[in-house]
Amino acid sequence: MIKTWIVLSLTWAGITCFQETPFPKAEISNGLIKASLYLPDAEKGYYRAQRFDWSGVIGKLEYKGHSFFGPWRETHDPLSNDGISGPVEEFMPIGYAEARPGETFLKIGVGTLKKTSNQPYHFWEPFEHVNKGIWKSEVKKDRAIYTHTFTDASGYAYVYEKTLRLLPDQPILVLEHRLKNTGTRTLLTQAYDHNFFVFDQHETGPSYRVTFPFELTTDGPTEGLGNIAAIKGNQWTYKQPVPPKVSTQAFLKGFGNSAKDYNIRVENDQIGVQIKGDQPITKIVYWSQKNTLCPEPYIQIKAEPGQEFSWKIEYEFFVK
């Protein structure tokens, strides 16, 4: 039996578990930023698919009358691989290559899934969910703490804690992560934040630019570069609005081995956000569509049995 526990601190009136939607939901605020959160739930959660970590889903984040995250798809399906919003993260599968069809592999923040064939892993495949683990959510005035406790007969086991915290008197959101390996097998993977920025529901186009702390080059095939988007030095820019049902995409290079390169600025003519991570980047994918734009920095994560790995991502929002 899969259990999901939701603990809400009721000492502050601004934290509310809303009843008007079927999805467990809460709000946090530091007086400057107000964020609406969807809480992980195996039966009623806003996101219950097998691609992204179920925790930390932000339905909306507002600062000085502007919105930075929100729905980017026209319709919502909780079981769709990308039916999600906000700065959500995906962990690459562990044990997929070694598993035979019918056996299981692990995705942190999701659980174990059943491998269906010897084909390479594809995130859009609807794998059978075998073990979802146990989720617990604790919401306080200015933060939400999610804990995923997972144990499996395969030898994989962990306690994964993710905290969304709004800093006092600052327009800053911090994502704090702690992964403790409680099993007998090594946890070795990569994770990235997809981000899914939606600025005031404005469509992606020439008013936007994304700035990196290094000169950009691309690695491999690209989509939309040249006719829709362009790279100018250390910036990704747009020549025209991204048309409906069209994507721009590229694997970006130019970063080094230091965490100082995890420092990305996303902005349009009115608002923006500075993203900083405390781990070196291992890969960057950039992807955008008409309703969202997404720099996706990857980091490496490794925890031997009994060990713990921690990392942090900071978002500083600004209005021009």
For residues 265-271, average pLDDT: 98
pTM of the full structure: 0.92
Residue reference for tokens 């007086």: 31
Confidence class for position 292, pLDDT limits 50, 70, 90? very high
The pLDDT tens digits of the residues spanning 23-51 come to: 999 999 999 999 999 999 999 999 999 99
Confidence class for position 22, pLDDT limits 50, 70, 90? confident
Write out the DSSP string of 86-131: SS-EEEPPBSTTTPPTTSEEEETTTEEEE--SSSPP-TTS--EEEE
57 pLDDT more than 50: yes
Chain centre to alpha carbon of residue 122: 18
Residue 233 has a pLDDT of: 98
Residue 255: partners with Cβ closer than 8 Å, 6 or more residues away: 212, 214, 261, 280, 281, 284
For residues 108-129, average pLDDT: 96
Residue 287 has a pLDDT of: 98
- Going along 141-247, which residue ranges are E strands? 143-151, 157-166, 172-181, 187-193, 209-211, 217-218, 229-232, 235-238
225 pLDDT more than 70: yes
Residue reference for tokens 């969807």: 38
d(C-alpha 300, C-alpha 158), whole Å: 17
Residue 3 has a pLDDT of: 40
141 pLDDT more than 70: yes
The pLDDT tens digits of the residues spanning 242-263 come to: 999 999 999 999 999 999 999 9
| Mean pLDDT of the chain, nearest integer | 93
Q: Name the residue type at position 108.
A: I
d(C-alpha 131, C-alpha 114), whole Å: 10
Residue 260 has a pLDDT of: 98
d(C-alpha 172, C-alpha 89), whole Å: 18
310 pLDDT more than 50: yes
- What is the C-alpha R_g of the chain? 19
8 pLDDT more than 70: no
73 pLDDT more than 70: yes
- Domains detected in the chain: 1-204+267-320 (2.70.98)
5 pLDDT more than 60: no
For residues 210-232, average pLDDT: 97
Chain centre to alpha carbon of residue 310: 16
Cβ distance 262 to 178 under 8 Å?
no
Residue 244: partners with Cβ closer than 8 Å, 6 or more residues away: 290
Confidence class for position 21, pLDDT limits 50, 70, 90? low
User: Which has more confidence, 17 or 104?
Assistant: 104
List the structure tokens of 194.
Answer: 């997809």
Chain centre to alpha carbon of residue 169: 25
DSSP symbol at 197: B
Residue 17 has a pLDDT of: 39
d(C-alpha 133, C-alpha 3), whole Å: 8
Name the 3-class secondary structure at 164. Answer: strand
Residue 7 has a pLDDT of: 42
